[in-house]
Amino acid sequence: MFKIIDRQFGIDDYGTDDFLHNWPMVYILENGKEAYVGQTLDVYTRMSQHKANPDKAGFTTAHFIYSDQSNQSMAFDYESQLISLLSADEKFTLTNKNAGIVDADFFDRERYDDQFRILWEELRKKDLVRHSIEEIEQSDLFKYSPYKKLTDDQRTTVSMLVQQLRISKEQIMVIEGMPGSGKTVVAVYTFKLLRDSPEFADRKIGLVIPQTSLRDSLKKLFKSIRGLSAADVMGPSDVADSHYDILLVDEAHRLKARRSLANYGTFDKAGSRIGLSGEVTQLDWMISQAKSLILFYDSDQSVITSDISKDTFQNTINEKFFNRMRTYFSLVTQMRCKGGNGYIDFVKKLVKGKEDTKGQFPHYSLKLITDFRRFESEYRKVVTREPLTRMVAGYSWEWKSKNNQDQYDIFIDSVQKRWNSTNREWPHSEHAVDEVGSIHTVQGYDLSYCFVIFGREIDYDFDTQEIVINKDLYFDQYGKRGASDEQLRTYIENIYYVLMTRGIEGTYVYACNDGLRRYLDQYIECEV
């Protein structure tokens, strides 16, 4: 079906095959370490252009890929697919820019997509790629790749961000988006677009990721792409050491205020390096260290007391940026859960005790299981066919196994489980399938299916018709320190909102408390 011709790059003679002239094809240039993907109608002209380009001088081998069924639309599409997949395959460091990634529809595309999977396996046989498409699509390197094909909503947002940066060198932009709307994807894509652009070559740019686990994943991603480095991805305190022309801050709702912290000394030291002290926030740090600030934000995902509050966030922007341009954008299309925006709205009302309609989502599996042994059994079945399925819970049990791996933490219906053995990239860690993750290990990540345990700390009171919280059964000490009862309820509701929006294909739910179980049973299909 496909023909793959291997030639030495830089020679004048690439062969006499008719397909090398005036026929759409894709190609890969590589040197064993780096690779570049392109498409062309004329091999000789395009290779001559590359040969004259100093950026391509280090390549040694060219692989030309074509078929008698090729067309121009297919060539553009295959180029984008190869770039996206190769960037996450880890065989090569990719050197492409991301501005040309397309996702256009065309005649008979489904058939060409099937053929692409055959092509990919041919590339595996030739040792040009390492992993299967299925393996790559489960990886964070793929999900957060700057070569990701953007939705129309995401692409429009990126375009507007860049346009605003052209208008002014000192401004703030806030991009609000629900879970699964692609905030991280847009942040990473925009970062690379700016880094590749000659227009912004003189600007110092940084990407701030408040969460340790997600930050580690993105550092690994950035190491695999030429022009980017792990040092580009920072924690909030890292900005204290330098000033930036442009700072992008993902998950900005997880920036910290100076309250209920595990280590005030570390916080204060970073603030003093910037020249700020007292009751400042990490948002103040960002404002001080950046001329232009791009914040990706969702107030409904703040989950602990130290997270900057919605009011503080807005007041800080208004006060500190009153003399600079302020622009707000929204990512309105949810792309993670196949239940769509309707599912997100449903969950938001459900966890606040305000739902009044049965959740029905034809393309999304949402189920309540009332017996935990059945819940565990179903989990084992699903994770066998969908390996990136994980079990998560609210922080309703002490983390005893943290200091003693022989201990179990969670006991439900004679089933015993352990909390996550690591906070770093837990969904992909060795023992994750046998563990239960917390909010701190999965926020920002996509899962195939998510099995959510509503813990002992949350219940529903049918007399008052509201969610109730048992503070004594909530064991995230930093999460509840200094919080009023109302604040704690909001944080815990937000936690379950986040947990229930991790699954791409579906969410399975178990509730420890009878009141909450009966409440959920009204709105979620129940499997006894």
Q: What is the pLDDT of residues 468-500, one digit of tens each?
A: 999 999 999 888 888 899 999 999 999 999 999
DSSP string, 213-226: HHHHHHHHHHHTBT
Rounded CA separation 379/232 (Å): 38
Check if 152-331 and 340-527 are the same fold. yes
Confidence band of 528 (pLDDT split at 50, 70, 90): low
- pLDDT score of 65: 93
Show me where the domains of the chain are located.
3-137, 152-331, 340-527
CA–CA separation, 78 and 72 (whole Å): 10
CA 408 to chain centre: 30
* 8 Å CB contact between 20 and 14: yes
Question: Mind listing the pLDDT tens digit for each residue in 173-185?
Answer: 999 998 888 999 9
How many Å apart are CA 115 and CA 109, to the nearest integer? 10
Kindly indicate the confidence band of residue 44, based on its pLDDT and cuts at 50, 70 and 90. confident
Cβ-in-10-Å burial (0-12, 13-18, 19+) of 231 comes to exposed
Band of the pLDDT at 68, cuts 50, 70, 90?
Answer: confident
Question: Phi and psi of 438, rounded to 5°?
Answer: -105, 175
pLDDT band at residue 151 under the 50/70/90 scheme: confident
Please give the pLDDT value at position 59.
Answer: 96
**Overall average pLDDT of the 297-321 stretch:** 89
Torsion from C-alpha of 29, 32, 33, 36, nearest 10 degrees = 10
Query: What phi and psi values does residue 54 have, to the nearest 5 degrees?
Result: -55, -30
DSSP 344: H
What is the rounded CA–CA span in Å between residue 333 and residue 275?
40
Q: CB–CB of 521/368 below 8 Å? A: yes
What count of other Cβ atoms lies within 10 Å of the Cβ of residue 315?
11
CATH architecture of 152-331: 3-Layer(aba) Sandwich (3.40)
Within 8 A by CB and 6+ apart from 397, the residues are: 409, 410, 411, 419, 455, 456, 475
Residue type, 75: A
368 SS3 class? strand
Query: Do 5 and 63 meet the contact criterion of CB atoms below 8 Å apart?
Result: yes
Q: Is the pLDDT of residue 102 over 80?
A: no
What's at 492, amino acid-wise?
Answer: I
Residue 279: predicted pLDDT: 86
User: What pLDDT is stored for residue 2 in this prediction?
Assistant: 84
**Residue 320: pLDDT band by 50, 70, 90 thresholds?**
confident
Q: For all residues of the chain together, what is the average pLDDT?
A: 92
160: Cα separation from own chain's centroid? 21
User: Stretch 219-229: mean pLDDT, rounded?
Assistant: 91
The neighbouring-strand residues paired with 94 are: 35, 225
Please tell me the predicted confidence (pLDDT) of residue 1.
73
Task: Check residue 184 and give its pLDDT.
Answer: 94
Using 50, 70 and 90 to split pLDDT, how confident is the model at 261?
Answer: confident
Q: How many percent of the chain have pLDDT more than 70?
A: 99
- What residue type is 253 in one-letter code? H
Q: What is the mean pLDDT of residues 72-82?
A: 92
Give the C-alpha separation, 501 to 360, whole Å. Answer: 15
Query: Both tokens of residue 476?
Result: 């995230």
Alpha helices per DSSP H over 181-295: 183-196, 212-223, 264-274, 282-289
Q: In whole angstroms, what separates CA 127 from the centre of its chain?
A: 29
Dist. CA 372–CA 510, nearest whole Å: 7
Rounded mean pLDDT of 293-309?
92
Mean pLDDT calculated for residue range 3-15: 85
Q: Which amino acid is at 237?
A: S
Confidence of residue 111 (pLDDT cuts 50, 70, 90): confident
With 70 as the cut, is the pLDDT of residue 281 above it?
yes
- Which one-letter DSSP state was computed for residue 133? H
Q: What would the mean pLDDT of 35-55 be, rounded to a whole number?
A: 93
Under CATH, what is the fold of the domain 340-527? Rossmann fold (3.40.50)
Distances (CA, A) of 15 to 8, 18, 19, 122: 11, 9, 10, 21
pLDDT of residue 159: 94
Read off the pLDDT band of 240 (50, 70, 90): very high
How much is the average pLDDT of 314-325? 82
